[in-house]
Amino acid sequence: MVLGLALGLAVLLAGCGGSPLSSSDTSVGCSVTVLIPSSGNSLLGTVTATTGGRSYQFRRNINTIAVGCGAKATLSASAADPTVHPFTHWTVSGAVSPAQTLTVTVDGLVSVQPGFLVPKVAPTSSPTPSPKVTPTPSATPSSVTLDQWVSYDSTTKTVTWKLLAGSPAVNHGLNFDGYDQGAMTVTVPVGWSVTVDFSNQASINHSAAVVTATGTTPVFPGAETPSPLAGTAPGQTAIFTFTASQVGSYRMSCLVPGHEPAGMWVSFTVAAGGLPNVHL
Ligand SMILES: [Cu+2]
């Protein structure tokens, strides 16, 4: 917890310029997107954001507010049912803060997930019978940035994937993060939570969903952008979170008709164990 707090404070103090919260690309604007987890049909809490002298009450699953670039946004969370699902932490681009309130300096697109106690999905793999020599856990940092798109936190077992549609304009823009036809493979361990920070940087609608090679519906609940057949409009973003609950080989595909057959998909693998990785 001390390490988590230190990381959280480091992120807050870093503000702009190189920290995970920052983006030098001001052409995409500055905003804070809050993803509030739910259990069944009810949200596990509410979030209030205060910025520029105004307060915003977040009551929906995914909420985005525009914030002036360089401005501060202070977020506070309250649990809907503290006895069952108490507030536990914030997740900010791979960093975790246990504080009840979070202040971020916004210099780009910032996504924040308030943490509430959520029932975990049990891993399907059987435990190893007798542990041999294992490395000391304290020697391994919990928060790891794999590349410019994927980071993870081994303590909270969360993966964050920045999924850009159509940038750079490989394959006539029909790509994710510049890769098409399975040229990128993101692997996560079974049972981990994956948050996909989707941004359509192309000039036509695109979407993203975790599907099988022949499927058109998400293999995990919530593993798709809204209305994936119609797609998300150019310049718009969408964040979704799902639990990678089943080992297997899947695709992250664009379901706008014709796009996946034209190569707009990358590979997504759920492994029985290990740590997340990206293979290019
Ligand atoms: Cu598409």
Separation of alpha carbons 238 and 61, rounded Å: 12
Ligand 1: distance of its center to the CA of 183 in Å? Answer: 16
| Residue 133, in any domain of the structure | no
CATH of the domain at 153: 2.60.40.420
In a domain, 31, yes or no: yes
Instruction: Using the structure block, give the residue that is written with the tokens 């297997």.
Output: 248
Give Cα separations from 254 to 172, 188, 198, 279 (angstroms): 14, 20, 11, 20
For residue 269, the CA-to-ligand 1 centroid distance in Å is 21
Structure tokens, 234: 């150019």
Is the backbone peptide bond immediately before 168 cis, with ω within 30 degrees of 0? yes
Please list the pLDDT of the chain residue by residue as tens digits (280 residues).
Answer: 333 433 333 333 333 333 344 444 444 577 777 777 776 556 778 888 888 877 777 766 666 777 878 888 888 888 887 767 778 778 776 667 777 888 888 877 777 878 777 654 444 555 556 556 555 555 567 899 999 999 999 999 999 999 999 999 899 999 999 999 999 999 999 999 999 999 999 999 999 999 999 899 999 999 999 999 999 999 999 999 999 999 999 999 999 999 999 999 999 999 999 999 999 9
Report the separation in Å between the CA atom of 259 and the middle of ligand 1, taken as the mean of its atom positions: 5
**Residues of the domain holding 86:** 23-116
Q: Number of folded domains in the chain?
A: 2
Cα of 221 to ligand 1 centre, how many Å?
21
Instruction: Calculate how far, in angstroms, residue 263's C-alpha sits from the geometric centre of ligand 1.
Output: 9
State in Å: Cα 172 to ligand 1 middle. 11
264 part of a folded domain: yes
Measure 234 CA to ligand 1 centroid, in angstroms: 11
Q: Same structural domain for residues 275 and 151?
A: yes
233 Cα–ligand 1 center, Å:
10
Smallest CA-to-CA distance from 205 within 260, 163, 256 is with 256
Q: Judging by DSSP bridges, how do beta strands 193-200 and 158-165 pair with one another?
A: parallel
Cα–Cα distances (Å) from 14 to 27, 102, 103, 211, in that order, read 22, 13, 11, 38
Q: What is the CA 11 to chain-centroid distance, rounded?
A: 17
Residue 96's CATH number: 2.60.40
* Å from CA of 257 to ligand 1 middle: 8
153 and 93 in a common domain: no
How far apart are the CA of 12 and the centre of ligand 1, in A? 35
Query: Does residue 91 form part of some domain?
Result: yes
Counting runs of H as helices and runs of E as strands, what totals does the chain give? 1, 21
Q: Do 165 and 212 share a domain, yes or no?
A: yes
